[in-house]
């Protein structure tokens, strides 16, 4: 097989594996969300708050691409379900921030245990150099996906 044919085959396999990975991620998070009593947007918004810390409604809208009115409803639902709380900003009392109720969220930690253990075992099978390449790919592909999402959500 020629080098060009090898590359085409490899790129086709990467596209297929990427689609499979995306599908597996969506299905996993849908199952987790269902166990937590959350829809996909609510579950991923909690993930955002865990990664980035407390955010304003405007910051949540900017990072998710959701309309501000949708974010208000999202926060209302998450607050009613006990996952977040609105608090006044200590530096600017007019500003309201949304913070995660870590105790409530922690009660669902066992839902992720098997997945995390599996990933840790997978990571152990790679060298540090390979992990750097994988990390670079994941960060860069996530940036491409965020940009594509922004293009879709900014269209009217």
Between 64 and 113, where is the model more confident? 113
Which residue ranges make up each domain of the chain?
A: 3-125
pLDDT of 28 above 60: yes
Give 16's contacts (C-beta < 8 A, 6+ positions apart): none
Cα dihedral angle (21, 24, 29, 34), rounded to 10 degrees?
Answer: 170
Strand, coil or helix: 63 = helix
Spatial separation of the C-alpha atoms in residues 123 and 136, rounded to whole Å: 14
pLDDT of 39 above 90: yes
Q: What are phi and psi of 111, to 5 degrees?
A: -65, -25
User: Which pair of tokens denotes residue 68?
Assistant: 């501000």
Q: CA neighbours within 13 Å on the CB side: how many for 47?
A: 14
Between 1 and 75, where is the model more confident? 75
User: Which pair of tokens denotes residue 91?
Assistant: 């530096």
Spatial separation of the C-alpha atoms in residues 136 and 6, rounded to whole Å: 23
Spatial separation of the C-alpha atoms in residues 97 and 133, rounded to whole Å: 36
The CATH topology of domain 3-125 is Arc Repressor Mutant, subunit A (1.10.10)
Q: pLDDT band at 156, cuts 50/70/90?
A: very low
| Cα distances (angstroms) measured from residue 56 to each of 13, 18, 72, 84 | 41, 33, 10, 12
pLDDT of 55 above 90: yes
**Per-residue pLDDT reduced to its tens digit, 96-105:** 899 999 999 9
């Amino acid at each position: 097989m020629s080098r060009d044919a090898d590359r085409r085959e490899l790129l086709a396999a990467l596209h297929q594996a990427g689609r499979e990975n995306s599908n597996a991620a969506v299905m996993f998070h849908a199952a987790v969300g269902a166990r937590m009593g959350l829809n996909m947007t609510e579950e991923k918004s909690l993930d955002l708050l865990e990664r980035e810390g407390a955010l304003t409604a405007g910051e949540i809208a900017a990072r998710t691409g959701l309309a501000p009115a949708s974010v208000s409803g999202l926060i209302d639902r998450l607050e009613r379900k006990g996952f977040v709380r609105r608090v006044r900003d200590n530096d600017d009392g007019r500003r309201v921030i949304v913070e995660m109720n870590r105790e409530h969220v922690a009660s669902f930690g066992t839902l992720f245990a098997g997945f995390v253990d599996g990933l840790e075992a997978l990571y152990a099978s790679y060298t540090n150099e390979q992990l750097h390449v994988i990390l670079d790919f994941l960060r860069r592909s996530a940036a491409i996906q965020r940009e594509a999402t922004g293009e879709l959500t900014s269209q009217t």
